[in-house]
Structure formats: structure tokens, C-alpha cells
């Protein structure tokens, strides 16, 4: 029996992995502050994939896109990849090669992948699917607080609050164990849908605010107006701990609740009630404002996150015990994955790649000249959009992600993937992206490797190996090391051992905003709660410095110690319904599946519960468009189509339909979504797309999702 952590969401619930009858493996919960001895359905069934027959166990290669992938040995596969990379770099320069990573990779893999891109390949073209997860909240948090950590407090702090506002998050389905911490007497849920979380709030006497999709900024401004109008703003906190309130308030002045109602559709009385509940709780036992993907995945997501932060600051929540603002990270290592160098504009430790001091520090750890480290690259969607185009990458290496279905306007991205001269995918199943590849490299799963993960509260956790991977399978670190050696880098630069990589990561992050220098194997093994920053001791061999479970209690990370209000204005979504596309599509997750579904739809119990895509429609909207319950519908946007079964729901908005993004083939929701990008975070607008809907025949058998073989959006295939 081995104690480790769940392979799915950023809660990183603790579990035991142990042998089961018939040569299988089983998972059961372990006690841990986040999950408190519980697991969701995904966690309980996670170990079933370890022995799944779809597992890849040999490298696959084709030298011609018209040929089938065929098994080869590792030397043949890696020699082929390295030879093609050398030729493309010689002909087109180092930026002819791109790298696409994942928020599901361990800290060690994230770190080594970023180093590999910049040293072994010399390319600036690296980004990862976490760009689609939390980049808007990260940008907003950095400009407000000077530092971004998803939750700057332990999850357990939420249990003592009197009120919690959740904006664009549905943890009852996406992170069920989190609901045990959301026991506040007043739970306020902001979501266009009556989700399971919204219903739980209503059942407990809380509030559900259901704005029109794309109007969250206006709602946050209306709540700020209502809070101050009711005398609930913490004027002493604003004066003592913040700057810029008056300019932010100027943007909120016009948004009295009746005006907010006209734009958002949320009743003015509900706006006042929610502001009162939150403001009174802030003066009582405490209050929290939490945001999720529903608030962020817009072409104005950074401003929306800033609007919610402004509300929290006006009420005096951040940097106080028992209150605060935080963002619910989605992917398993969404926090650590963006801290250590696989993001286009960052070096390890959350260092900016444009900062000369940061470049000098990391270059010294790497043993290179700072000039050898490329500058910033382009964001994830922009990287994929220019594949194979003039000036764009001619080759792409993908680790732990499934962009063929996980990105907006996915059909266009599949065309761009097909336009590359070389596509290499490292994964443990044949995802849609892997099926397009020239080379597929079979890699180990979560329970077959060592490493560390960083959960949504900034707590660094040890991932323990429970079993050996199947013969013929290598770890991602071994793949990176093998390619780097073939590209002429010394073996010492790219170790394949996770402990050795962690030691180097500690040195590379020392003194950085996300300082991991004090996170040692010994402290992790002892079970110490290590929330970053966790710097090393002041003297060699001396006691380690304490970790930081609660940020900002003494001051914020700006030089003056004050938080920054950011003036933001409401603006409409990048695309609105109109002639030919009268409805709004919004997307999200369901209880039984995770991200691209490559794991969960191979689990029999989960696949049976949710075998295919569905679209949630109000009965009146269905009648208007000729749809029937359980019948098939075709949704069409300006970018593509998808097929889904109709689910009628009277609590749905009449102007909005919802579809989950876990399915591929003809049921790929991201074929419809809009790639309009936030100007700051470069987050695409997943949450609002103008569509039409009409009856359709069932999909042909070859396009219907197979419960054990298909994969889907969004985030990563792992």
C-alpha cells in the first residue's frame, strides 16, 4: 500500500493505492486536510486506468502522414525525433520547434521541460494548457497583490467563514470534497446555470445570482456599489492597506443595482441582499470571495477577476485571518505547473523571463550565459494557431495535453497540427492529438512515478510511486533526458531522477516569488505542511525557514506593502447572439469526467454514467427550435458544429444552452468556442459563443464517442 495523491483536480486529495484481485489496483481515501478522508467518484476509480488495455507500451512512428503508426523501439523513435529537430532548426532557426506542456505535469517535469525548450532546443516557443485554466486570475492577482497563489490561505480556513461568494465555480461537481469546507451559513453562488453548487446554496438558505453569460464584470461592479451604498465598505482597511480605490470606485458609481439588473438580469434586490450578506459577514465571523473558470474564461477575464478582487478589497477581506480572496485552480498541478518555466513568459520560481536579474540567477544555476536563454514566447493558442505557417513552428512536442480537442476553434487547431512537419506526443493513451502525431512516446502514469505537485492552496505534496510502469514505458523525465542527449546536451543538465531535478529546482527558485528552496525530501516525507514561499534557512545547515500557509497578513507583495485596486469597466463579450446564431453556448465540466476525458471515459463506471455529450436546454427554447427530450441536436457556431443529446431543464436560462467539454469526435464542444483572447492573460473566451441549435439524426457509429477509447476537452489528455 502506498500513500499518494489523486491524479485529477487541484485539490490533490490524499489516497492509498494498493493491489486488488486479478492483478488490478485500487484506490481508497487517506486522511488529509483537503479531503478529510473522502474522495469523489473520479478518485475512487482512478487506479482502474493503471491496467487498462488501451495503455500504450511501445513508441509509435510513421514517416509518412498517409501511413499508419507502427510500433518501434525507443532508440529508433528518439533518433528519428532528434534528427528531424536538428534538421528543422538548421533550416528554419530554433523557433521552428514549439513545445506544449500541461498543468498536469509534476513540478519536476514542468521545470525540466522549460529548461529543455530553452537550452536543448533554444526556442522561445513554449507554453502550456494552464494558459486556459487560471491565467486571468493570475494576472489580476499579480497586479492587485504583487503575487499570485491560487488560494493564499489553507482550504480549511473556509470552514469558519460566515459567508462565501463563489463566482463561476461549481465545486459540487468539479471538486466534490471541497464542499465539506463550504459550510458557511450564507453561500452565494454566481453562475448562469442552476448548478449543483447553486442548488446546494439555495437549499441551505444561500443566494444564487444567475447573470447573463459574459456580464460578471457588471455584476461585480453592482455588488461593489451596493456594498458601499449600504455602508459596508471597510474604509479604514481601504485607507491603511490599499491604493487606487477612488479610481476604481468611479467605475462602480454608475452601477447601482437597478442598472446592474438591466445588464445582468440579476434582480436588484438580490444584488443588495448578496452585498449585505457578504459585507456583514466581513464584519462578523469572516467572508471569502472565490473565483473559478466561469469568471475567467472570457476575452475580458482579467478585468472580471479584478472586479471581484476590488469587491473583496473594498470589504477588507484579503490579508486577514478568517477572510480573503482566492481562485480555485483547476488542473492537478495548475499552480506548480505555471511556476517553473513551461509558461511562455516565465522562468522557474515565477520569475519574469524579461527580468535581467532573474535571467542571471537561472543562467547561473543552469551553467550558461544569460544571453543563451531565449526571450518570451507567445501564448498557448497563438502558438498553436501559427503552427506550420510562415514564421511559425514547423515541429511541436506535446507533453500531457490534448490540444486537438482542448482548445477553442479546435477544428482549426487540428488543421494546424496536421500542417506541421513533425508532431511528437508523449502520453499513455492514444488521444486525438496522439492519433495525428508522427511519433507517439508512451510514458508513465501518476502512480508509476515520483515527484511533487502543488495544490490549489500552494501546498507542495509528494507524489509517490506505487508500482512500476509496464515494460517499454518511460517517464517524461527519461524522455526529456533522452532527447536532450541526442541534441548534444551533457547528461548532467537533464537528469531523469525526480529527486535530482527537485534539488536543482530548489536552487533555481531560491529568492524568487515562488521560492521552493526550503522544500526538501526530508520535510516532505515528514508530512510537514509546506506552502510556498518556503525559503531555505538563513545559514547553511541551520533550521529551515517556515513555510507560508497564509500570505499577506503583514503586507502585500508590492514594494509599499499595499494592495492595488484596478479600475475596470464592463464590456460585452467578444461575440454576441444575433441573426443565424440566436443563443449563447457556455461550457463546463460534469461530475464524472475530468478535462479531456482521456482518463475518465476509459473507466467503465464513469463512462456508463455519462457516455456522451449532452446539451442543457430550457423546455421553451427546445420547443421553439423543434427539439425533444433525449433527442439529438446539432449546435452550430461560426467555427464549427457538434452533436449532443438534449436534456430539458426548467431552471436553465431561455437564452443560453450548456454543453460539457469532455468529449471528442462529433461531440467536441470546443469546435464551437471562440478563440478571442484576453489582452492581458491571453485566455480564450471559452464561456460565450453564439450558436444555433436544431434537431439532428444520431451520429454515425464511427463518430460516436466510444466509452473506452475517445478523448475530449479541455486542458490536457492526462
Residue range 78-112, pLDDT digits in tens? 999 999 999 999 999 999 999 999 999 999 999 99
CB–CB of 46/27 below 8 Å? yes
Residue 118 and residue 141 in one domain: no
Residue 172 and residue 287 in one domain: yes
Residue 191 and residue 297 in one domain: yes
Report if residue 220 sits inside a domain.
Answer: yes
Mean pLDDT (the chain) is 94
The string of pLDDT tens digits covering residues 213-244 is 999 999 999 999 999 999 999 999 999 999 99
Which H or E run contains 145? Answer: helix 135-145
**Domain end residue (candidates: 493, 509, 525):** 509
Residue 141 and residue 285 in one domain: yes
Q: Which residues contact 663 (CB under 8 A, 6 or more apart)?
A: 597, 601, 612, 613, 669, 705, 710, 712, 713
Report if residue 530 sits inside a domain.
Answer: no
The string of pLDDT tens digits covering residues 6-25 is 999 999 999 999 999 999 99
CA distance 536 to 525: 17
Report if residue 209 sits inside a domain.
Answer: yes
Range of the domain at 637: 583-695
Cis peptide before 490 (omega within 30 of 0): no
Q: What angle do CA 621, 626, 630 make, to 5 degrees?
A: 85
Residue 378 and residue 499 in one domain: yes
pTM: 0.95
Residue 276 and residue 391 in one domain: no
pLDDT grade for 702, boundaries at 50, 70 and 90: low
CATH code where residue 181 lies: 3.40.228.10
**Domain end residue (candidates: 486, 509, 532):** 509
CATH code where residue 33 lies: 2.20.25.90
Residue 685 and residue 596 in one domain: yes
Residue 386 and residue 475 in one domain: yes
**Domain end residue (candidates: 308, 328, 348):** 328
Report if residue 708 sits inside a domain.
Answer: no
Calculate the alpha carbon distances from 214 to 15, 23, 76, 295, 301 in Å. Answer: 38, 49, 50, 8, 9
Report if residue 553 sits inside a domain.
Answer: no
Calculate the alpha carbon distances from 68 to 64, 416, 441 in Å. Answer: 8, 20, 15
Over 80: is that where the pLDDT of 541 sits?
A: no
Residue 125 and residue 139 in one domain: no
Look at the chain and report how many structural domains it folds into: 4
Report if residue 318 sits inside a domain.
Answer: yes
Residue 163 β-bridge partners: 186, 287
Residue 275 and residue 364 in one domain: no
Report if residue 103 sits inside a domain.
Answer: yes
Over 60: is that where the pLDDT of 147 sits?
A: yes
The string of pLDDT tens digits covering residues 61-77 is 998 888 999 999 999 99
Residue 286 and residue 435 in one domain: no
CATH code where residue 111 lies: 3.40.50.740
Residue 400 and residue 347 in one domain: yes
CATH code where residue 626 lies: 2.40.40.20
Q: What is the DSSP letter of 697?
A: P
Report if residue 561 sits inside a domain.
Answer: no
Amino acid at each position: 500500500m502506498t500513500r499518494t495523491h489523486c491524479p485529477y483536480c487541484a485539490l490533490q486529495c490524499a489516497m492509498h493505492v494498493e493491489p486488488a484481485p486479478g492483478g488490478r489496483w485500487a484506490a481508497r481515501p487517506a486522511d488529509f486536510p483537503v479531503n478529510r478522508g473522502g474522495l469523489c467518484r473520479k478518485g475512487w476509480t482512478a487506479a482502474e486506468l493503471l491496467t487498462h488495455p488501451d495503455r500504450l507500451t511501445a513508441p509509435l512512428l510513421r514517416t509518412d502522414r498517409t501511413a499508419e503508426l507502427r510500433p518501434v523501439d525507443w532508440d529508433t523513435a528518439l533518433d528519428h525525433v532528434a534528427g528531424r529537430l536538428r534538421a528543422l532548426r538548421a533550416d528554419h532557426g530554433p523557433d521552428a520547434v514549439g513545445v506544449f506542456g500541461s498543468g498536469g505535469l509534476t513540478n519536476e517535469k514542468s521545470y525540466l521541460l522549460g529548461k529543455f525548450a530553452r537550452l536543448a532546443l533554444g526556442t522561445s516557443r513554449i507554453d502550456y494548457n494552464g494558459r486556459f485554466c487560471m491565467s486571468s486570475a493570475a494576472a489580476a492577482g499579480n497586479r492587485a497583490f504583487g503575487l499570485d497563489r491560487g488560494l493564499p490561505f489553507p482550504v480549511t480556513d473556509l470552514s469558519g467563514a460566515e459567508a462565501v461568494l463563489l463566482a463561476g465555480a461549481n465545486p459540487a461537481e468539479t471538486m466534490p470534497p471541497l464542499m465539506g469546507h463550504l459550510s458557511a451559513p450564507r453561500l452565494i453562488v454566481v453562475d448562469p446555470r442552476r448548478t449543483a453548487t447553486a442548488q446546494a446554496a439555495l437549499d441551505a438558505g444561500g443566494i444564487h445570482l444567475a447573470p447573463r453569460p459574459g456580464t460578471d464584470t457588471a455584476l461585480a461592479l453592482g455588488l461593489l456599489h451596493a456594498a458601499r451604498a449600504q455602508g459596508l465598505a471597510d474604509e479604514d482597511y481601504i485607507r491603511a492597506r490599499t491604493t487606487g480605490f477612488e479610481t476604481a470606485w468611479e467605475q462602480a458609481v454608475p452601477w447601482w443595482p437597478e442598472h446592474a439588473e438591466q445588464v445582468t438580469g440579476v434582480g436588484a434586490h438580490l444584488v443588495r441582499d448578496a452585498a449585505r450578506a457578504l459585507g456583514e459577514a466581513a464584519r462578523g465571523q469572516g467572508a471569502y470571495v472565490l473565483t473559478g473558470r466561469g469568471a475567467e474564461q472570457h476575452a475580458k477575464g482579467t478585468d472580471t477577476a479584478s472586479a471581484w478582487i476590488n469587491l473583496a478589497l473594498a470589504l477588507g477581506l484579503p490579508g486577514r485571518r478568517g477572510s480573503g480572496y482566492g481562485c480555485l485552480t483547476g488542473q492537478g498541478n495548475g499552480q506548480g505547473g505555471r511556476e517553473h518555466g513551461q509558461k511562455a513568459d516565465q522562468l522557474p520560481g515565477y520569475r519574469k523571463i524579461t527580468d535581467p536579474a532573474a535571467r542571471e540567477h537561472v543562467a547561473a544555476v543552469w551553467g550558461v550565459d544569460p544571453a543563451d536563454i531565449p526571450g518570451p514566447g507567445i501564448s498557448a493558442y497563438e502558438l498553436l494557431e501559427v503552427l506550420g505557417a510562415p514564421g511559425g513552428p514547423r515541429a511541436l512536442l506535446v507533453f500531457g495535453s490534448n490540444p486537438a480537442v482542448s482548445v477553442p476553434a479546435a477544428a482549426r487547431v487540428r488543421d494546424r497540427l496536421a500542417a506541421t512537419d513533425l508532431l511528437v506526443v508523449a502520453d499513455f493513451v492514444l488521444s486525438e492529438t496522439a492519433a495525428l502525431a508522427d511519433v507517439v512516446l508512451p510514458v508513465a502514469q501518476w502512480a508509476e512515478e515520483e515527484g511533487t505537485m502543488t495544490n490549489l492552496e500552494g501546498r507542495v505534496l509528494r507524489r509517490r510511486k506505487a508500482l512500476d510502469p509496464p515494460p517499454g514505458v518511460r517517464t517524461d523525465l527519461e524522455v526529456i533526458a533522452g532527447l536532450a542527449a541526442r541534441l548534444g546536451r551533457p547528461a548532467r543538465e537533464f537528469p531523469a531522477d525526480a529527486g535530482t531535478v527537485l534539488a536543482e529546482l530548489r536552487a533555481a527558485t531560491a529568492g524568487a516569488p515562488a521560492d521552493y528552496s526550503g522544500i526538501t525530501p526530508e520535510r516532505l516525507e515528514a508530512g510537514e505542511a509546506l506552502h510556498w514561499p518556503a525559503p531555505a534557512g538563513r545559514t547553511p545547515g541551520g533550521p529551515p525557514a517556515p513555510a507560508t500557509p497564509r500570505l499577506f497578513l503583514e503586507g502585500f507583495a508590492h514594494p509599499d506593502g499595499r494592495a492595488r485596486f484596478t479600475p475596470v469597466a464592463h464590456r460585452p463579450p467578444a461575440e454576441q447572439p444575433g441573426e443565424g446564431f440566436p443563443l449563447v453556448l457556455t461550457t463546463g465540466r460534469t461530475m464524472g469526467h475530468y478535462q479531456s476525458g482521456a482518463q475518465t471515459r476509459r473507466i467503465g463506471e464513469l463512462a456508463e454514467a455519462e457516455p456522451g455529450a449532452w446539451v442543457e436546454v430550457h423546455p421553451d427554447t427546445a420547443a421553439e427550435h423543434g427539439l425533444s427530450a433525449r433527442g439529438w441536436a446539432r449546435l452550430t457556431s461560426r467555427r464549427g458544429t457538434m452533436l449532443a443529446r438534449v436534456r430539458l431543464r426548467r431552471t436553465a436560462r431561455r437564452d443560453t444552452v450548456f454543453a460539457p467539454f469532455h468529449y471528442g469526435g462529433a461531440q467536441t464542444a470546443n469546435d464551437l468556442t471562440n478563440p478571442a483572447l484576453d489582452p492581458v492573460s491571453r485566455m480564450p473566451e471559452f464561456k460565450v459563443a453564439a450558436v444555433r441549435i436544431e434537431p439532428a439524426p444520431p451520429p454515425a457509429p464511427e463518430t460516436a464517442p466510444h466509452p473506452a477509447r475517445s478523448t475530449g476537452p479541455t486542458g490536457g489528455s492526462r
